[in-house]
Structure 1
Amino acid sequence: MKKNRRTFLRNSALASLAMTAAPAAANSFSNSNPSIPDGLTILFQGDSITDAGRARDQYYANSTRGLGIGYAYLATSQLLANNPNGNFSIYNRGVSGNKVYQLADRWKDDALNLRPNVLSILIGVNDFWHMVNGHYDGTVERYESDYRDLLNRTVKEVPGVKLIICEPFVAWGGSAITERWKAEFPAYQKSAAKIAEAFKASFVPFQKVFDEALKKAPAKVWCPDGVHPSPAGAHLMAQAWLETFNKLY
């Protein structure tokens, strides 16, 4: 009897713990803002970090395969779950390898024609990385100039669009990161922050997110090569993005 009673009490305690923990797990992303309007069109743009293996032929709104497997998918899943009657249309048009000028080349079809209410852009790592690898002759000045031109075009053709500028980031200690990154890449981050301020855009401080994460575990946990996030890193990105998005309304 005593053994059965101990088993019963233990199982009851575990069940109670599970019930207590479940809401916390479900709300691990902070995204409860009742003032978010219905019917929003939200667009994620950028390079491979945003692309995250999305299926290019699945270009419809809220398509599971079309959203990839990265932070854009995770943020979208939480937005749709927390706003089931919101009638949001969310797209991912990130393209692996892109630099700012390549966004501009496809901007009409992949951004302007979608008429987004919210446009999120994460771009910059390739503008630096491809230059370091000798595959691109860009500079930080070109990065900033191209970026400003792109946004000027956007706000002119899509009046009222809310902009989210995501900070290009590095997970220090990643396998692809050299000393040159430490010396030169912060200039690109400063340019992105300046652009966000100039266009009154919301800014997602991804570098701070990963710097804090690296205090808990090494780069291999969050972003093994220093550029492309792991599932854990993508989770952190989605969390930070949603916190920024919630402040738009």
Structure 2
Amino acid sequence: MMKLTRRNLLQSTIVAGVAASSVSTATTVSAANDSNVQSLPEGAVILFQGDSITDARRDRKKQTANQSAGLGDGYPFLIAGGLLESHPAKRLQIHNRGISGNKVPDLAKRWQADCLDLKPNILSILVGVNDIWHKLNGRYDGSVAVYESGYRELIEGTLSALPDVRVVVCEPFVLRCGAVNDKWFPEFDQRREAALRVADSMSLTVVPFQQMFDKAIDEAPPAYWAADGVHPTLAGHTLMAKTWRETVGI
């Protein structure tokens, strides 16, 4: 039996205090997140938009909300599962309309049917990597300015048509491995910064995916999170889902 001393008692008190503080913080965050979800109307629509990172091999024939196959196997699926399990009474309607290979102009062409007609309460957009990847492959010639102006017009039109929608801009990201080499820079960072400027100018929520992965590579190499530097692994998608929910607050 450990002898109870003043030092042991002090250490025990400190440990207990830290534990209590951690529980209190977690409870506060959980309560805030729950409050944010409860503020959504029953049957609220959450829509994920973007390219292959969002698409994540979804079955495009499965268009009904909350269908596992229709949500793919990436971060939208993981987020949807968590929200549906945590808030069954809200009857949330969660859709994934990401399409592999899409750039900003591709989103614009299908925006009416794949966004506006769904009338989302929360709209999450992740787009930008193909706008440079296809340019490097000689399949597209859009500049950074074209990306920024097109992205801005897309969101401004959305807010005009759906003034109550909450738009979430996901920071474009790459990891330096696989297909991503020095040729991607500095233009990729310029495009990433353009997306952030668009979001900042309209006071939109930004999910800091590049910052998240920059920190994550301190724990494991880039390929652990995205083997080709662009498409996340299971670990990468899970980290994205966690960060998305923490940032959006639901």
TM-score range, shorter chain: 0.7 to 0.9
**Aligned match for 2:194, one of 191, 198, 201:** 191
Q: Letter of the aligned partner of 2:200 in structure 1?
A: E
Counterpart Cα distance in 2 of 1:238 and 1:164: 13
Aligned residues: 218
Tell me the equivalent position of 1:226: 229
Tell me the equivalent position of 2:75: 71
Contact 1:97 1:126 in 2 (8 A): yes
Tell me the equivalent position of 2:110: 106
Q: How do 1:169-248 residues align onto structure 2 when only pairs under 5 Å count?
A: 169-172=173-176, 174-246=177-249
Counterpart Cα distance in 2 of 1:162 and 1:31: 20
Shift, 1:182, TM fit: 2.9
Tell me the equivalent position of 1:150: 154
Tell me the equivalent position of 1:40: 44
Contact 1:31 1:242 in 2 (8 A): no
1:34 aligned counterpart, secondary structure? helix
Q: Letter of the aligned partner of 1:211 in structure 2?
A: D
> Is 1:137 aligned to residue 141 of structure 2?
yes
Alpha-carbon deviations, 1:58-99, whole Å to 9, x = none? 000101000000001001111111112111000000000000
Tell me the equivalent position of 1:54: 58
Shift, 1:180, TM fit: 1.9
Counterpart Cα distance in 1 of 2:224 and 2:151: 31
| C-alpha spacing 1:74/1:128, structure 2 compared with 1 (3 Å) | same
Shift, 1:34, TM fit: 2.3
Shift, 1:137, TM fit: 0.5
Shift, 1:181, TM fit: 1.7
Counterpart Cα distance in 2 of 1:244 and 1:94: 20
Counterpart Cα distance in 2 of 1:117 and 1:63: 19
Counterpart Cα distance in 2 of 1:159 and 1:184: 33
Q: Letter of the aligned partner of 1:81 in structure 2?
A: E
Counterpart Cα distance in 2 of 1:66 and 1:148: 28
Counterpart Cα distance in 1 of 2:30 and 2:63: 25
Q: How do 1:13-24 residues align onto structure 2 when only pairs under 5 Å count?
A: none
TM-score, normalised with respect to structure 1: 0.85
Contact 1:31 1:243 in 2 (8 A): no
Q: Letter of the aligned partner of 1:229 in structure 2?
A: P
After superposition, the CA RMSD in angstroms is 1.4
Q: Which shows bigger deviation, 190-199 or 62-71?
A: 190-199
Counterpart Cα distance in 2 of 1:136 and 1:34: 43
**Structure 2: 5+ residue runs without aligned partners?**
1-25
Tell me the equivalent position of 2:3: none
Shift, 1:31, TM fit: 6.0
Counterpart Cα distance in 2 of 1:142 and 1:31: 40
TM-score, normalised with respect to structure 2: 0.84
Q: Letter of the aligned partner of 2:113 in structure 1?
A: D
> Is 1:91 aligned to residue 95 of structure 2?
yes
